[in-house]
Amino acid sequence: MDKYYSYTDFLKAVSQQSTEHHAEKLLNEIYLDLFISRLQRMQRIEQLKLLIDTSLDQKNEQAFLSYTTELKELLETVS
């Protein structure tokens, strides 16, 4: 669900719309998508932390490496 919105795309869409209501609706949709994406990333980060702890407890090196790699990638996208 990662959608990319640029300021230019937004302005193009607004210029094609005839009323402010349409522009406001589009902007709300963009913010909602960004908000949901952020919540999903944050939830996955917390889930990965628990999985990492579990894999350490179980001495499962392969799972640990897999989860830490995914966590590292997620944390890089947030920054």
5-21: per-residue pLDDT in tens?
A: 666 766 666 666 556 67
Neighbouring CB atoms inside 10 A of 48's CB total 19
pLDDT per residue as tens digits for the range 33-56 = 989 999 999 999 999 999 999 999
- Which two three-digit tokens encode residue 27? 């902007």
Cα–Cα dist 57/44, whole Å? 20
Distance CA 9, CA 61 (A): 45
Does the pTM of the predicted model rise above 0.85? Answer: no
